[in-house]
Amino acid sequence: MSRTLLAIVSVVLLATPAVPADLGACAGHVRYGAPSLDPDLLCRTGYALSHDAAHKVPDWVAYRLTRNRVQGTVPRTNDFRPDPDLAPGRRSELADYRGSGFDRGHMAPARTMAWDDRAMSQSFLLSNMAPQAGPGFNRGIWRVLEGLVRAWAQERGELFVVTGPVYGPGAGRTIGPNRVAVPTHFYKVVFDPVRVEAVAFILPNQRLRTADLPAYLASVDEVERRTGLDFLSALSDPVEAVVEAAVPARVW
């Protein structure tokens, strides 16, 4: 990275980006920009999200992860429930997943919320979930990737993570009486503000081989193209362009 770009980076990282009023209490989770400002913006203890009432899953879920937080020991609560901040008819219900053949896939992982009792419980709100294939995905490669993100936070000290659905060719399948959309893929964007670099993934929502995880590396630009979202918008344009265009040579 050039000295000029490093200078720009230092200015950006010292600045305090503007955060939408609805997410003010969640400023820490979207410090480098909310990917969209759609109506159903929800702030939780451990994450922020934008909920898509048409698909009844989140567009994005963002959270800040630190070395201290990944050492949390709060036990898993498993208190799955509909989100009381969303009106019936605009949200998924427990009945939608029952017998569907899909897991209630966390976007902000429960294990990552083990640093706080409230954060753990809120991770089981259905607004934080989307239908995921179970064996080989939610209970396979996806879980492994979530564990890697925690390991990276332990090593690097602080990360900002955004996760959500992608609707590619063949989208349109739904589950349950509320017609909860089944994404064709899921993305994960991880930003390291100290090293000023990002790693991103787009994974098909199906049984996958964990060993193939490097095959699903993508640029942040590609995730934006596939989702219509805008990541890292609080960075200056030159820095954002460099960070978002890069595809790491390996899985961090």
In a domain, 155, yes or no: yes
pLDDT at 143 over 90: yes
Q: Report residue 21's pLDDT band, with 50, 70 and 90 as the boundaries.
A: low
Q: Is 140 inside a domain boundary?
A: yes
Question: Residue 182: which domain range?
Answer: 3-245
Q: Is residue 161 part of a domain?
A: yes
Overall number of domains in the chain: 1
Give me the chain's average pLDDT, please: 92
Mean pLDDT, residues 228-246 taken together: 97
In angstroms, the CA 19 to CA 31 distance is: 7
Tell me, yes or no, if the pTM score tops 0.85.
yes
Chain Cα centroid distance, residue 124? 15
In a domain, 62, yes or no: yes
* Residue 74 clears pLDDT 70, i.e. is over it: yes
The domain spanning residue 188 has which CATH number?
A: 3.40.570.10
> Each residue of 177-219: pLDDT tens digit?
999 999 999 999 999 999 999 999 999 999 999 999 999 999 9
241 occurs within a structural domain: yes
How many other CB atoms are there within 10 angstroms of residue 39's CB atom? 9
Q: Does 250 fall in a domain? A: no
Above 70 in pLDDT, residue 15?
no
pLDDT for position 4? 39
**Cβ distance 251 to 199 under 8 Å?**
yes
Distance CA 186, CA 173 (A): 15
Q: In angstroms, how far is the first alpha carbon of the chain from the final one? A: 18
251 lies in a domain? no
CA 177 – CA 151 distance, rounded (Å): 39
Active-site amino acid positions:
106
Rounded Cα gap, residues 136 and 212, in angstroms: 11
Instruction: Give the phi and the psi of residue 166 in degrees, each rounded to 5.
Output: -130, 140
Contact 229, 59 (CB under 8 A): yes
**pLDDT higher than 60, residue 240:** yes
Find the mean pLDDT for residues 99-117. Answer: 98
The Cα-based distances of 67 to 2, 115, 153, 242 in angstroms read 29, 11, 5, 26
Residue 71 CA to residue 159 CA, distance in Å, equals 14
Asked if residue 114 is part of any domain, the answer here is yes
